[in-house]
Amino acid sequence: MKTNKLQLMLAGLFLCAAAMPAFAQEKTREEKKLESGAAELDKNAAKPEGAQRVNDRIKAEFAVDNARVQSLRDQKMGYGEISIALGLAQGLPGGITDANVAKVMALRQGPPVMGWGRMAKELGLKLGPVQSKVHKMSAEVKKAKKAKGEKDMKEMKREKSGKPEKMDRPGNPGKSGTN
């Protein structure tokens, strides 16, 4: 009887110990918002023209060249992850340098693999400014996509209607107004 009770207590202890890392890795609200903004950027980049818009926005926001963005893409990172990594690197002393980007990437790829919040804490940064930038970029890309879509719709309507564009009014040669 005592051995069964002891076995049950030990089994319960091991189950609790196994579940503890899962509880410790809960994402903060800030991390969830950051990842949703990153997912939105990735969603906007699903089509080639959208990818170009997102790529241009990242280059403009972080003042980086195409080679840096492409090197991060070659590491199997999405545009959202790239913007987060560049945002964290920008917060480090010296800004976006090869060393800072490599430092952020080393923390992300591990071992041990870290989440964005833990990385920011490790680097002595806050996620708020990065989250704000990613959200702002996502909104601007979405706005540009919507504006492009509306422009295309207007052109298609004009083409489908079959109506010619308005012509200039012909002036009356006899009535010029200067007699």
What residue ranges do the domains of the chain occupy? 29-142
Residue-wise pLDDT tens digits, 38-67 = 888 888 888 888 889 899 999 999 999 999
Tell me 131's DSSP state.
H
SS3 at position 55: helix
User: In this structure, which amino acid lies at residue 72?
Assistant: L
- The Cα 133–Cα 78 span in angstroms is 16
85: confidence class by pLDDT, cuts 50, 70, 90: very high
Q: In angstroms, rounded to a whole number, what is the distance separating the alpha carbons of residues 117 and 31?
A: 6
The answer to whether the beta carbons of residues 31 and 118 sit under 8 Å apart is no
Is the separation of the CB atoms in 45 and 57 below 8 Å?
no
Angle formed at CA 72 by CA 49 and CA 57, multiple of 5 degrees: 40
Enter the pTM of the model: 0.67
Grade residue 9 by pLDDT with cuts at 50, 70 and 90.
Answer: low
Average pLDDT over residues 4-20: 56
